[in-house]
Chain A
Amino acid sequence: DAGVIQSPRHEVTEMGQEVTLRCKPISGHDYLFWYRQTMMRGLELLIYFNNNVPIDDSGMPEDRFSAKMPNASFSTLKIQPSEPRDSAVYFCASSLSVDFQETQYFGPGTRLLVL
């Protein structure tokens, strides 16, 4: 398996623009997680899905952030409109069944810069 795939790897956009980050989890993994990493706040869980259903979105910072998982092999994290403080590295991770008891496999991340 190729592991967790994220695209794009780098994104530079201007404030106010819509940003869409994409993730393909490892085949067969039932859980998908979106994280954000910044120097100030470290790594934070934004939202996670189980079998394509959002389970916990309490980490999503604002209504400008939304995430979907239309099928087992694809998820998106959208920011609309984007702001400079959204600049961060966004990671997607997936794991087998059981809530946080199984190893999570992380993608390489998307480095987002909002000007």
Chain B
Amino acid sequence: KQEVTQIPAALSVPEGENLVLNCSFTDSAIYNLQWFRQDPGKGLTSLLLIQSSQREQTSGRLNASLDKSSGRSTLYIAASQPGDSATYLCAVIKLGNRDDKIIFGKGTRLHILP
């Protein structure tokens, strides 16, 4: 069964620094991978979606990479701002398997220090 791990569980970084969030998965036969942001008491907001045939996606200060062979994805945030403070979750999607459709990591709680 697919397992998705995000380490560290929490991270504090001074404002302005660049940072990398990690996501690893055990089954490389994925359809796509998504990164989400969750603010306290809110639902998830989709940040980036990477198809299995792609290596990376970029949106503004965010860049997500995907290495299926090693079972890893990273979310790079450039020039961090206090508004980036949130929990970031990655999710891997595998088609054709009823029990393994979409699996989320438990997230990394990011705190940007002003």
Contact = CB atoms under 8 A, between A and B. Distances in A.
Interface of A: 4, 42-45, 48, 56, 58-59, 91, 93, 99-101, 103-109
B75 to A, nearest CB: 16
Interface of B: 31-32, 34, 41-46, 49, 51, 89, 91, 93, 95, 98-99, 101-102, 104-107
A63 B95 CA distance: 25
B88 to A, nearest CB: 13
Contacts of A56: 98, 101
Given A104-B46, A106-B45, 14 more contacts: A42-B106, A45-B102, A48-B101, A56-B98, A93-B43, A99-B95, A100-B31, A100-B32, A100-B93, A100-B101, A101-B49, A107-B43, A108-B42, A109-B41
B102 A4 contact: no
A44 B45 CA distance: 16
A96 B101 CA distance: 17
A99 B42 CA distance: 24
Given A42-B107, A100-B93, A101-B32, A106 B44 contact: yes
